[in-house]
Every structure is written in C-alpha cells, then in structure tokens.
Amino acid sequence: MKSLFKLIPALVFSISLVAAGLVSPYSAKAQDIITNRLGMRFVRIPAGSFIMGSPTSEPGRNWNEQQHKVTISKSFYMGETEVTQGQWNKLVSPNPSAFKLGNTYPVDSVTWNEAVQFISFLNQMEGTRKYRLPTEAEWEYACRAGATTAFATGPITNFSCTEPDPALKDTAWYCYNSGLQGPARDFKPHPVKTLKPNRWGLFDMHGNVQEWVQDACKWRDILRARVGVVTDTYKENIVDPLSRTGNHRVIRGGGWYQNGKYQRCAYRSYYKPIAVRNSLGFRIVREQ
C-alpha cells in the first residue's frame, strides 16, 4: 500500500501523571491509564455487557438503533481524547486539518484510510500490533460508561442550538456552545480536555469532532426503503460484533456544528472511507 504520509521520527518520552497535572477529579484512576511514546493517554475500559441502541421513546431516535444486548468480552484501552493535531504532527505529515488552531485541537479532515495508516505508523513506532480503531460496539459501550440515557450524563431535552441541553452543556462542544455565540456563527472545534469527561474518564465522546470506527456498513436498507447505517451486527446477545460488509464506514459521536440529536450515544452515521470533512476525526483503541 502506498504511504499517504511522510513518517516523522517521534520524540521518545514518558509523562508523569501527577507532575504533569493531568489527573483531574473527573479522570480515571492513575493505575487505569497508560501513556505511549507520543504522549497519548489511554483509559482502561472493563469488559462487560450493555444494551446497545436506543429505546423507541428516545427523542431523535433513528430506525436503525434497535436495542440489543452486546457483550464486550475483553477489557481494552480507549484514547482519553480524540487524536490531536500535536500528536499527529509528531508522527506523520502533513497535517490535514481544515482548522489548524494548535496542538491541543483534534485533528480533522482525516479520511478513514488515513486514520488507519496513522495507526499503522503508531504500531510500527511502538513495536506492536495492539493499536486500532474501536469497533462501533466498543465505541458506544465506552461512550455510555454505564449510562442508559441518550447521553452519558442524562436524557436529551431539546434539539436547540440556542438553548442549552443540561446533559450536554458541560461535556460536549456542539452547536449551542461551539460558536453560535461570541462571536456569532464562528463555529469550530475546541481544544480537547476542556470540558468534563464521562464517568470512565473519556473526553469529547459527545461533540467536538465525529469519529471513525472500524465497522464497514451499507448505506441503505432496500427492503425497508430506508437510508442509514445498515449492518448485520444489531443482534440480540451478540459478542464482540464487528461489521465487515459494505463500502462505507461507520462514524460515531456528534460534531461541533450539530445539535443534540446527533450527539446521542446511539446515533450512527456513515461516510465513504475516502471522505474528508472538517468535522471528522478519530480516536484510537489499544488492546491489552
């Protein structure tokens, strides 16, 4: 496969969690966090089962979010934040972001193919094969962090961009707080780790940039004459699901310009793997 980037020798370093002041009251316990040579922090997500999808009563629900029990059989480590421009710049070039605002901002305008190649370079640098994109099920499991509501922090109350949703205003950069006001219509992503994380210590699972996941999908259900993410993985009592069928790739998490409907834990969307969007980035998983 032809390289999409120029590989840059990464700076080898380690980070002391306490000395760097990176442990907050909202973060996971220090012993549940690992830090790699790029300074990426990964939070341990315990194995377990959860109800994936949304109830029919949830405002904003889509037809392809049917609830079903999923088991994640192995614990894994999830990126504490979306991959940042600083992390990207240490490993590959050029930076594809439309919003080149600084090292602490999430990288955007990344295709699925580029995300996968970045991870390949990271594995090469670390001498491992443990890094990858999360599966769709792992992503929702980590996003919920045990919650059964629309958001990890509570139910959805509105689709407004001018009135805050109580469950989102302190945890997600979305259309209400990402630029509708001060100055008006200056929509853009924001630095990672500037709002509160979920109860498992993950930041920006709702909002900021949308995130690629591993799963392939089809984009329409011909029998139902409906458009949306179509996979064969939404089955009861499924273990470690991963969809491999389809020419598109699933994305999760809402973007900085979208309202609450698109920030929900269960919301699913898709793009072609070559798609470039200024609201689209990714997050990395590390296997144990």
What is the full per-residue pLDDT of the chain (288 aa) written as tens digits? 445 566 665 433 333 322 333 333 344 566 699 999 999 999 999 999 999 999 999 999 999 999 999 999 999 999 999 999 999 999 999 999 999 999 999 999 999 999 999 999 999 999 999 999 999 999 999 999 999 999 999 999 999 999 999 999 999 999 999 976 555 667 899 999 999 999 999 999 999 999 999 999 999 887 777 999 999 999 999 999 999 999 999 999 999 999 999 999 999 999 999 999 999 999 999 999
Q: Which domain holds residue 152?
A: 6-287
Q: Which of 133, 141, 171 is nearest to 282 (CA)?
A: 133
Q: Does residue 185 lie in a domain region? A: yes
Cα gap 259→164, rounded to integer Å? 10
Q: Does residue 165 lie in a domain region? A: yes
Residue 288: other Cβ atoms inside 10 A: 11
Q: Does residue 23 lie in a domain region? A: yes
Q: Does residue 159 lie in a domain region? A: yes
Tokens of 93: 């070039």
Q: Kindly state the DSSP code that residue 244 receives in the 8-state scheme.
A: -
Q: Amino acid identity, residue 175?
A: C
CATH number for the domain harbouring residue 94: 3.90.1580.10
Domain count, the chain: 1
Q: Does residue 195 lie in a domain region? A: yes
Cα gap 18→235, rounded to integer Å? 43
Tokens of 85: 């421009």
Cα gap 175→266, rounded to integer Å? 19
Q: Does residue 1 lie in a domain region? A: no
Q: Does residue 210 lie in a domain region? A: yes
Q: Does residue 217 lie in a domain region? A: yes
DSSP state string for 125-141: HHT-S-EEPPPHHHHHH
Q: Note the pTM of the prediction, 2 decimals.
A: 0.90
